[in-house]
Amino acid sequence: MCFGSPHYLGFLWLLLPLAALQVYGIVTRRRAVRQLCDRRCEPAVFGRFSPAGETAIVVMQLAALSLVLVAAARPQWCTGERLVRLERVETAYVLDVSSSMKARDVLPDRLARVQDELLLISRGDGGGRRSLVVFAGTAAVQCPLTSDRRMFETFLRLAGPDVVARQGTDIAAALEVALRSLGDGRDARRRIVLASDGGYHRGDAPALARRLRHEGVGLMIVAAGDTVPVTVPAPVGDDGGGVLRDAGGHPVMSRLEPERLRELAGEAGGKLFTSGPGRRAAPLVLAEMDREQTSSRLVRVPLHREDIPALFVLPALVLLLVSGLVRCRRVP
């Protein structure tokens, strides 16, 4: 047996504290019943209370929840085995379009610089399909997975802060959307090229990076900007004197934060490349892609896959139904 989305199996660990809470509830209820009335009047007031019966109900409910989580992991009946060289690569390009990307510590600004970097990387990359995800406070697929390079480049040039409704920097959401845009990757290697200045403020990006590593998705990060703080230009029509200001009227300062991006790349087993004054990242990224391509390895994949989530969902429904019937019979 194999799984199409094995990361859901990690949620099974949450059942341990849940089981402990249920046991604590049974013990507490038993003590409360004993304090409120005599043992002889318990059945008439509270119904027939049996710790063993309550424990059986809890066990059935936890077992049902476990089966649902296993079904969510897309269990598959896998038979046979074949060797496949994953030479085809599918790449998700993830572009930060938050307000800080308009800072001009690199010319003409950070956003235009990384757009040029991603354009060079896409053109220098070999075959395979590519998608484009833009993000700030939220993330969205700007260009779905396609082999049409011209369409991809058009969407890349059009990307800007106005295409995302909420500002901020949520790299975790961006990585999750990028992973979904790549599909399951059964017959191709998957990788993500992220371009940002590193100041993420929402979500658990390291957890998403570890998930990428677990699922075999490569991560390359292009960090744009300089470590010296600079002001962020205000949007067109803003009356802040050409500079973005916070609620207190102070100019918003931004700088490249390579430490956070380096940590993120390390969690995913990837690499960080800096695009700053006098330094370009595209040649280094392409060299790393070539190195990965020459070291592409043979992997063993199942010959046949058959989805079998129903084998887990049906027993879960039966257990929930039985536990509900048992609880109904115990009501006074």
- Read off the pLDDT band of 119 (50, 70, 90): very high
CA quadruple 139, 213, 295, 80: dihedral sign: negative
Looking at residue 79, what is its pLDDT? 80
Looking at residue 85, what is its pLDDT? 61
CA dist 71 and 187 (Å) reads: 23
The total of other beta-carbon atoms located within 10 Å of residue 280's CB is 16
Domain residue spans in the chain? 2-80+304-329, 85-300
Looking at residue 200, what is its pLDDT? 67
The pLDDT mean for the chain works out to: 83
- The pLDDT tens digits for 44-63 are 655 555 667 778 888 898 99
CA dist 81 and 304 (Å) reads: 8
The region of weakest confidence among 129-143, 204-218, 231-245, 315-329 is 231-245
Per the listing, tokens 């790349």 go with 265
CA dist 245 and 252 (Å) reads: 5
Q: CATH: 3.10.20.740, 1.10.3720.10, 3.40.50.300, 3.40.50.410. Which one for 85-300?
A: 3.40.50.410
Q: What is the mean pLDDT of residues 156-174?
A: 84
DSSP, res 235: P
- The pLDDT tens digits for 313-329 are 999 999 988 888 876 65
DSSP, res 131: E
CA quadruple 58, 62, 68, 71: dihedral sign: negative
- The pLDDT tens digits for 270-326 are 999 999 888 899 999 999 888 877 655 556 667 677 888 888 999 999 998 888 887
- Read off the pLDDT band of 332 (50, 70, 90): very low
Q: What is the mean pLDDT of residues 209-229?
A: 90
- Read off the pLDDT band of 142 (50, 70, 90): very high
Q: Are strands 130-135 and 139-146 parallel, antiparallel or unpaired?
A: antiparallel
Q: What is the mean pLDDT of residues 206-230?
A: 90
* Nearest to 177, CA basis, from 189, 188, 164, 158: 164
| Encoded amino acid at 131, one letter | S
Helix (H, G, I), strand (E, B) or coil at 293: helix
Looking at residue 223, what is its pLDDT? 92
The region of weakest confidence among 29-33, 169-173, 225-229 is 29-33
Question: Exposed/middle/buried for 332, CB within 10 Å: 0-12, 13-18, 19+?
Answer: exposed
Looking at residue 185, what is its pLDDT? 64
Please determine, for residue 26, whether its predicted confidence score (pLDDT) is greater than 90.
Answer: no
Q: What is the mean pLDDT of residues 97-118?
A: 91
Q: Where are the alpha helices (DSSP H) in the chain?
A: 15-36, 42-46, 51-72, 110-124, 149-158, 171-181, 205-214, 258-268, 282-294, 310-329
CA dist 273 and 222 (Å) reads: 5
Looking at residue 231, what is its pLDDT? 87
